[in-house]
């Protein structure tokens, strides 16, 4: 019996972008539709006079005196001073030491141990994320990253020995990992704790000073991160800036040594454009369309369970690695749909809208976007399961669509929610081409999403889905400069490299660089003649 074939036989966590190849009669499109941060409805900032709460659909407004508001605004001037302070700290050299890095990692480990309850509560406030899901997907993953860094940092910091060539004989060489300097991490709202602290772990491990800008769309987690990092880490080297567009803009105007941004491709372009002004390198972790390819000859129960785990039990589909749509054979689709229905009821109960084991939609704007996808003329009659919605509670039930048109918005944009289209075709050749012809940031065979829990695998996308990667050693490398070092002594100094350039020298050099060992030896002892 064949095993499940999921997500390009795998879950392609970061699809390749706009390059398309046939999938039945359909082609991939990787246009993203997460709202630009310039149009978000909610923001939370200690430095602003207006605070919008994500816990209700109405904003609460507090007004402070104009002069006090002006003093608290985080503008370009304050951002420049912040960067200057962190660069001054970096220039002292203290963040480069193994002891400092370890002390900060231990601070994070202690924070995760002592403040686990507070973290889970903040995630519930922002996303109604179930406690166990919050622990597994955020707290536990952060703890794993921190523990690996504590365990492996000494090895990561060791210079990497490199072979030298005969042209530099006698010599030795190595690659030294050194910190880049002052780095900026701009996080996102769907896993607001993990996707904030994981890059910070990498930046600290590499010996940098770092500014974290959490997402204003998850205000409770943002506020908690600001408090915890102040309490547990070295504030002269690690800082948190809360806020929304003005604060982010002020930060992006500065000269950084690296920027890591997690979010949409639209905002990724803004970040990259700002970085280009200073020739600042970037790591961009963006979104994409993540297909799951399901063969008919599978363990149906396990297949359905794993798809659900990679969709509705993964922040209710609000994840870049979530199953975005399914490709399967036409005759198998009804069987698969029934299996998904049965397992959904087993997981979340008969009334899916009242389940406490499923996150809510993050904000009214995202809720409205998802409803618009469902209510599109060519989509609304394709709903075969679910479709219920409650605007007051920001909840949409798990919804399955069957054979929506290729040009529908739901198939042209990243869904990022509890809607799951199933696309059917007549044969398996499309699935085979899918794996052979597409580049993916991540592939998973016979399961969904859990490949990101493997520390030795890089987490990152290609083309429209981003550039660069992190997780474990890849985080350390992403925030490090690889410096080439060649060591030579004075014992031997051939005149071969120096003028005058004689025919004899040319002949000897060509022989030495030919790669023919016997010829080199004969030449050196004077026995080789052309």
Distance CA 14, CA 123 (A): 24
Task: Give the pLDDT confidence score for residue 40 in this predicted structure.
Answer: 32
Classified as helix, coil or strand, 453 is helix
Residue 349: CB atoms within 10 Å = 14
Cβ partners under 8 Å of residue 116, min gap 6 = 135, 139
Q: pLDDT, tens digit, for every residue of 217-246?
A: 999 999 999 999 999 999 999 999 999 999
Q: Per-residue pLDDT averaged across 304-331, rounded?
A: 95
Could you tell me if 89 and 237 are in contact, meaning their C-beta atoms sit under 8 angstroms apart? yes
Mean pLDDT value of segment 508-518: 77
Instruction: State the average pLDDT over residues 325-349.
Output: 96
Marked catalytic residue, from 133, 138, 320, 464? 320
Tokens read off for 209: 């000073």
What's the average model confidence in pLDDT over 450-467? 89
The pLDDT tens digits of the residues spanning 278-291 come to 999 999 999 888 99
Query: Is 367 a residue whose pLDDT tops 90?
Result: yes
Of 240, 186, 206, 177, the residue nearest 105 (C-alpha): 206
Mean pLDDT (the chain) is 85
> Of 227, 182, 207, 43, whose CA–CA distance to 126 is shortest?
43
> Given this model, what pLDDT does residue 435 score?
59
Beta strands 209-213; 182-186: pairing state: parallel
- Please, are residues 249 and 221 in contact by the beta-carbon 8 Å criterion? no
- Which residue matches tokens 């200073």? 278
- Catalytic entry in 133, 138, 242, 285: 285
User: What would the mean pLDDT of 16-37 be, rounded to a whole number?
Assistant: 32
Beta bridge partners of 335: none
What pLDDT is attached to residue 28?
27
pLDDT at res. 362: 96
| Positive or negative: CA dihedral 141, 210, 154, 115 | negative
Of 428, 444, 451, the C-alpha closest to 327 is: 428
Residues recorded for the chain: 530
pLDDT of 15 reads: 41
Q: In this predicted model, which residue has the larger pLDDT, 494 or 335?
A: 335
The pLDDT, as a whole number, for residue 496 is 84
Active site residue 320: yes
Q: What is the pLDDT of residue 165?
A: 85
Strand, coil or helix: what is 2? Answer: coil
pLDDT of residue 429: 57
pLDDT > 70: what percent of the chain?
A: 83
Q: What are the residues facing 271 on neighbouring strands?
A: none
pLDDT reading at 11 higher than 60: no
pLDDT of residue 48: 29
Tell me what the mean pLDDT of segment 413-428 comes to: 90
- Res 9: pLDDT: 35
pLDDT at residue 59, as a whole number: 32
Strands 22-23 and 399-402: unpaired
In angstroms, the CA 185 to CA 260 distance is 5
- For tokens 């039930």, what's the residue? 397
Q: How confident is the model at residue 20 (pLDDT cuts 50, 70, 90)?
A: very low
Chain-centroid distance, C-alpha 445:
20
Average pLDDT over residues 295-309: 94
- Tokens 């924070």: give the residue: 111
Give the model's confidence band at 508: pLDDT under 50 very low, under 70 low, under 90 confident, else very high.
confident
User: Residue written as tokens 């010829």?
Assistant: 519
């Amino acid at each position: 019996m064949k095993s499940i074939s999921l997500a390009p036989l795998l879950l392609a966590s970061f699809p390749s972008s706009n390059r398309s190849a046939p999938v039945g009669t359909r082609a991939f499109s990787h246009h993203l539709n997460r709202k630009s941060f310039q149009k978000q409805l909610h923001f939370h900032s200690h430095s602003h006079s207006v605070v919008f709460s994500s816990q209700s659909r109405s904003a609460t407004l507090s007004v402070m005196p104009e002069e006090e508001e002006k003093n608290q605004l985080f503008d370009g001037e304050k951002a420049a001073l912040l960067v200057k302070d962190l660069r001054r700290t970096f220039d002292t050299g203290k963040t480069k030491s193994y002891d400092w890095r370890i002390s900060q990692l231990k601070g994070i480990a202690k924070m995760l141990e002592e403040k686990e309850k507070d973290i889970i509560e903040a995630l519930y406030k922002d996303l109604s994320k179930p406690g166990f899901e919050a622990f597994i997907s955020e707290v536990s993953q952060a703890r794993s990253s921190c523990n690996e860094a504590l365990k492996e940092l000494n090895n990561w910091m060791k210079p990497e020995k490199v072979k030298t060539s005969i042209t530099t004989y006698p010599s030795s060489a190595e690659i030294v990992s050194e910190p880049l300097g002052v780095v900026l991490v701009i996080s996102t709202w769907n896993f607001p704790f993990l996707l904030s602290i994981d890059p910070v772990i990498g930046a600290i491990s590499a010996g940098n000073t770092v500014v974290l800008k959490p997402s204003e769309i998850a205000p409770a987690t943002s506020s908690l991160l600001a408090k915890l990092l102040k309490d547990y880490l070295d504030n002269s080297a690690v800082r948190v800036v809360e806020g929304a567009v003005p604060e982010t803009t002020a930060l992006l105007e500065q000269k950084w040594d690296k920027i890591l941004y997690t979010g949409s491709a639209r905002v990724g372009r803004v970040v990259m454009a700002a970085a280009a002004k200073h020739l600042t390198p970037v790591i961009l972790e963006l979104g994409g369309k993540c297909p799951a390819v399901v063969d008919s000859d599978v363990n149906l129960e396990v297949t359905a369970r794993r798809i659900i785990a990679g969709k509705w039990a993964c922040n209710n589909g609000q994840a870049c690695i979530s199953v975005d749509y399914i490709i399967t054979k036409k005759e198998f689709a009804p069987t698969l749909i029934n299996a998904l229905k049965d397992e959904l009821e087993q997981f979340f109960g008969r009334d899916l809208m009242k389940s406490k084991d499923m996150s809510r939609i993050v904000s009214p704007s995202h809720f409205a976007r998802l409803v618009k996808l469902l209510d599109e003329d060519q989509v609304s009659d394709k709903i075969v399961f679910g479709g219920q919605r409650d605007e007051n509670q920001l909840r949409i039930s798990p919804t399955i669509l069957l054979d929506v048109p290729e040009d529908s918005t739901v198939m042209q944009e990243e869904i990022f929610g509890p809607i799951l289209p199933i696309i059917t075709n007549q044969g398996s050749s499309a699935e085979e081409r899918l794996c052979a012809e597409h580049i993916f940031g991540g592939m998973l065979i016979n399961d969904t999403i859990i490949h990101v829990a493997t520390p030795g695998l890089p987490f990152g996308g290609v083309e429209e889905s981003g550039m660069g990667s992190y997780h474990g050693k890849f985080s350390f490398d992403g925030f490090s400069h690889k410096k080439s070092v060649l060591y030579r002594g004075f014992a031997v100094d051939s005149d071969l490299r120096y003028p005058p350039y004689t025919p004899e020298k040319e002949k000897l050099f060509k022989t030495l660089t030919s790669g023919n060992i016997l010829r080199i030896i004969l030449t050196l002892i004077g026995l080789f003649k052309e």
